[in-house]
Structure 1
Amino acid sequence: MTLKKLYENENYVIVNKPYDMYINTDDENEKNTVTCHIACHDSHLSTSTHPLHFVQRLDYATSGVLCIAKNKAAAATAGKLFEKRETRKYYLAIVRGHVKFELADVQYNVGIDPATADSSHKMLALTDNTITCVQSRRAHTRVLVLETGFYNEEPVSVVLLKPITGRRHQLRVHCSALGHTILGDYTYSNTIDSSPHRMFLHATRLVLPLQQGPLDIQTSEPFFQDEQFTTKWKSNVVFYKYRNQEDFQSVCDIIDKSYEIGVKYKIFNCN
């Protein structure tokens, strides 16, 4: 799989991470990592000759925009922007089922699934139907439905996801809590969804409001350029155009707006 550099200067390198690729590892024999593709296997370590600083993370199965700092000062600057939630991140996802709402704020806390606390640390959304989860923290995701269709003759929806907070597996957990697990998400489908060739979650756009000038980095739409997907896809209803760069920025503007609860806008939280 090819890792593409989207932007680079003296402080940052921003790449388009392929799906099913690690960011880094301590295993010298593992070459399927971001660090091996742009530097060397130990670049994530402070002892490296040219250490890299990962100011954000993407899951192994998630593709898309990944920001890496080249020095401690740049890492601290970007880290504060992420910590203060001043960055803007937008993800494309394909989820199981036809989503009934148009726009929603999902505000379920996310914590560790107690059944996996000593093993895989699978995460869990704290909903009205959840008894408990460990170390739960506030989590907030906004969801905009872009299109419905069928994958392999089964109903799916294309959605735009905007994480307001940044918890581990947040987008995957929130989608699952809504009853619309991300297509190909083996973990949060309880190992059932194993037939797709990938998990359909892609970090499409990242906006970093740096003092010297904002960085606005966007990838092309990844799913409909993938023949393994398109041969099994059939469109149903298109609510918003989103497949080219200009249209995608327009739907980002829509998801950024403030809304009042109504027929098409929902809030999901724990009462």
Structure 2
Amino acid sequence: MAVVKLYESDQFLVVNKPYDMFINSDDEREKNTVTCHIASHDSHRANSANPLHFVQRLDYSTSGILCIALTKTAAASAGKLFEKRMTKKYYLAIVRGHIDVEMCDIQYPIGVDQTSSETSHKMIALTETTEAVCGLPRAAHTRLLALETGYYEGNPVSVVLLKPVTGRRHQLRVHCTTIGHTVLGDYTYSERQDTAPHRMFLHATRLVLPLREEPLDIQTLEPFFSDDRFSSRWKPLSAKYNYKNKEDFLAVCDIIDKSYEIGVQYKLFS
């Protein structure tokens, strides 16, 4: 699959990363990486002739917007914004089950799942039942807005907008699983059970990076319903919001940004 460039300047390159692709790799035999598609294999290394600076990360299975700084100065500027939580990231996801609230905040701390192997990098939310196995938990916060419900291959699913307020490893996937709605096709957090879908349905759809000299607001097209492998297996049930074109998506981003929405069925998970 191609890595599509969404924006390019002297300071930044923003691409649409395909699902099931690494960002980079120290294994020279591994060619399924973003770096191999857009630059030399070693471009993620500081000693490269033309180094790339990844100011954010996306999991192997996650698709969508990936911002890359082309200079150390640009990387430092973007890094400070991420550190201070001044950026905004919005993800579309399809999760298992019908969500019974319209909006929720999920504030379970996230740590290392100490029951998993050292190489799995699996995380877990800290709850009353996981205290003994959640290592080094750190505060985490995700906001969720339910957009639509339906059925995938006859099984209930929901389309949701996710906004990570913090940036922990696997945060969105862990938080969705913890409230009982694992991301469709998430092999790791379904305990290796959800193997039928052709991909994991999590996509970084919009990134707002308020840089002083070069403010960025990048958005991709809706990625799921345009894919016949999903749409042919989808049956709609109830749509709460329109979100499939650019203007409608910006509108639901405005809704999830508000601290409180009158008339919205809300729940706090913490």
In structure 2, the residue corresponding to 1:116 is in which secondary structure? Answer: coil
Contact 1:261–1:267 under 8 Å retained in 2? no
Q: Name the counterpart of 1:68.
A: 68
In structure 2, the residue corresponding to 1:28 is in which secondary structure? Answer: coil
Q: Which aligned runs of 4 or more in structure 1 are off by greater than 6 angstroms? A: 260-263
Q: Name the counterpart of 2:3.
A: 3
Q: CA 1:150–1:12 in 2, change beyond 3 Å: closer, same or farther?
A: same
- The CA distance in 2 between the partners of 1:41 and 1:99, in whole Å, is 42
Q: AA paired with 2:177?
A: S
Contact 1:93–1:201 under 8 Å retained in 2? yes
Identity between Structure 1 and Structure 2 (%)? 67
Q: Name the counterpart of 1:95.
A: 95
Matched pairs, number: 269
Q: Name the counterpart of 2:188.
A: 187
Deviation at 1:47, TM superposition (A): 1.1
- The CA distance in 2 between the partners of 1:93 and 1:170, in whole Å, is 13
Deviation at 1:70, TM superposition (A): 0.4
Q: Name the counterpart of 1:259.
A: 260
In structure 1, the residue corresponding to 2:225 is in which secondary structure? Answer: helix
In structure 2, the residue corresponding to 1:225 is in which secondary structure? Answer: coil
- The CA distance in 2 between the partners of 1:263 and 1:166, in whole Å, is 26
- The CA distance in 2 between the partners of 1:184 and 1:198, in whole Å, is 6
Superposed, which structure 2 residues align to 1:1-271 within 5 Å?
Answer: 1-116=1-116, 118-132=118-132, 133-259=134-260, 264-269=265-270
C-alpha RMSD of the superposition: 1.2
- The CA distance in 2 between the partners of 1:77 and 1:263, in whole Å, is 37
Q: AA paired with 1:153?
A: G
Deviation at 1:119, TM superposition (A): 3.2
Contact 2:255–2:261 under 8 Å retained in 1? no
Deviation at 1:261, TM superposition (A): 9.9
- Give TM-score scaled by structure 1 length: 0.97
- Give TM-score scaled by structure 2 length: 0.97
- The CA distance in 2 between the partners of 1:254 and 1:47, in whole Å, is 44
- Structure 1: 5+ residue stretches without partners: none
